[in-house]
Amino acid sequence: MTHQNNNSTANKVWFITGASRGFGRVWAEAALKRGDKVAATARSLTSIIDLKEKYGANVLTLALDVTKPDQVKTVVAQAHAHFGRLDIVLNNAGYSLVGTIEEASADDVRTLYETNIFGTLSVIQAVLPLLRQQGGGHILGVSSGLGHVTMPVIGYYCSSKWAFEAIHESLAGEIKDFGIKVTIIEPGAYATEFGSQESLKFAAGLDIYADFKTQFVDRLKGLERGDPQATPQALFQVVDAKNPPLRFNLGSQNLEWVRAAYAERLATWEAWQEVSASAQGEPK
């Protein structure tokens, strides 16, 4: 399969959240190395200040807490004014909540959603008027293979990614006529800092789940993880494509996993179809 590319693949302007570590950091550096310009944002400015030293005028480093909508608006406007446009808006900020459905408090879940969902929404809503005004752009949202399947113990994180997927799919239909593209990036397991203490929060534990969670964590440790440094060229193919995909699996593992999950769902729906259809009643 060949991918059509835009005539100009380089010299794009990126706006990246969560640029201090993980994919956000890897992709910010890779974009700068290929000659693109980047507005790199992170909660702590000191965590990204070295980018300024390395890449000079091609990078704008800004402190941004995506859970503060007013700050999001100010920073997005600042980045747009500085570079004159934003071609790619990459929502990467997020973290995972570790805890069973019973263990996590409502406050734990709200805080997770404040970053993973409402933070993303604040960025999208801030950039849309600017992208419309400039006649186009590309919104990238970093989801996960867990936007289609779930795991125990991180169910609330999975739920945030299911919501993330639905929001971006609806968004894609709503803004297509403005020339704005949407792609959901769905990484599998990678050896990023996502498993670090900064990217994980833990719900207060109940003893009855202790063994189950230990076994789960041991299984996770045994997962084969991809190399984050191997990802930029694939990402560039997506952002340089004339018709980028709405969903893009990052890595080799997701397709088999997702295919099995959907096959199982279809089999269940089909097995129960007679009962399901019986609930339709007569047409009104």
Catalytic residue annotation: 143, 157, 161
Q: What is the gyration radius of the CA atoms in the chain, in angstroms? A: 20
122 contacts 70 by C-beta, under 8 angstroms: no
How far apart are the two ends of the chain, measured CA to CA in Å?
47
Distance separating alpha carbons of residues 162 and 282, to the nearest angstrom: 34
β partners of residue 140: 90, 183
Where b means 16+ CB within 10 Å and e means fewer, 131-147 reads beeeeebbbbbbbbbbb
Identity of the amino acid at 220: L
Distance separating alpha carbons of residues 270 and 262, to the nearest angstrom: 12
Contacts of 215 (CB under 8 A, 6+ apart): none
- Strand 96-98 to 200-202 pairing: parallel
Identity of the amino acid at 9: T
Complete DSSP assignment for 127-160:
HHHHHHHHT-EEEEEE--GGGTS--TT-HHHHHH
